[in-house]
Amino acid sequence: METYNALKIVFSKALKDVYPSNELDRIFFLILQEKLGWKKIDFILNRNNSPNTELLQFIDKVIPELKNNKPIQHILGCVSFYDLELKVNKDVLIPRPETEELVAKIISEISYNSSLSVLDIGTGSGCIPLALKHQSPNLVCSGIDVSIAALSVAKENANKLGLDVDFRQQDVFKSSLKFNSIDIIVSNPPYIPKKEIASMSSNVVDYEPHSALFVEDDNPLMFYIHIATIGRNVLKDNGKIYFEIHENYADQVVNLLSNLNYSNISIFKDLQGKNRMIRASK
């Protein structure tokens, strides 16, 4: 391959039947960022230079995996989330931009020097409490998950980043929560009804943990009901609860929070204009 620009053209042609062009651009630049530490401007400045052999070999390896819809984050083994590089694999969800928006909402409502206690329920890769701790170092952050494999990833991320977050294995449906006097509960729980699987892309359905994504069609709010009920017991007075939500169930989540005597309930839209976050006070 004579130039980086030629490499990009070959990469795009090889995968044009699998991904739209804007997604191919995103994937290609993720590879350059991870392998070369480049931003788009670096590619522009070097596009007529010859690519190194290691990158060429990696691209050759990646193309067949991408043709099988394997997520680029799994291929690279990491994802960028709120200025952090986090390990991800088949045991955890790949953090989405809307979850970054949830973190941003919480950060916007606390001070940098805040020493509030935060509990993330269903923490997965640990992305939420790790990002919060990184942005506001005095927070006392914890995360729980039913999956031991997911917690292994979260703990590895915490160790790599040097962030003090307490990760514990716990199934909130089978035992009482071993926390009390919490200032903030946050959760991005499973909320996609199984009936939607047929319409979803295979890079999600085939590679990400279903237990972290899907709920039964007849009980789509099961996690919200249970977590909100827990919140009534473990949150301090005036403590807050933050949820990421399915856009189609915003009103139902508001109603269940209201029925549990939460106040100051607000829905927030994501950058796509979808109802995606809810905040309420005990």
Answer whether 265's CB lies under 8 Å from 254's CB.
Answer: yes
- pLDDT, position 1: 64
- pLDDT, position 174: 81
CA 160 to chain centre: 18
Q: Token pair of 106, please? A: 């919480």
- pLDDT, position 173: 87
In 3D, which of 177, 180, 121, 184 has the Cα closest to residue 154? Answer: 121
Print pLDDT tens along the chain (282 aa).
Answer: 689 999 999 999 999 999 998 999 999 999 999 999 999 999 999 999 999 899 999 999 999 999 999 999 999 999 999 999 999 999 999 999 999 999 999 999 998 888 999 999 999 999 999 999 999 999 999 999 999 999 999 999 999 999 999 999 999 888 677 777 899 999 999 999 899 888 888 888 888 889 888 888 888 999 999 999 999 989 999 999 999 999 999 999 999 999 999 999 999 999 999 999 999 999
Q: How many other C-beta atoms can be found within 10 angstroms of the C-beta atom of residue 277? A: 24
In 3D, which of 188, 223, 192, 189 has the Cα closest to residue 100? Answer: 188
- pLDDT, position 227: 95
- pLDDT, position 87: 96
Give 172's Cβ-side CA count (13 Å radius): 22
Q: Is 85 helix (H, G, I), strand (E, B) or coil?
A: strand
Phi, psi of 19 (to 5 degrees): -130, 150
Answer whether 163's CB lies under 8 Å from 134's CB.
Answer: yes
> Was domain 90-281 assigned CATH 3.40.605.10?
no
- pLDDT, position 199: 87
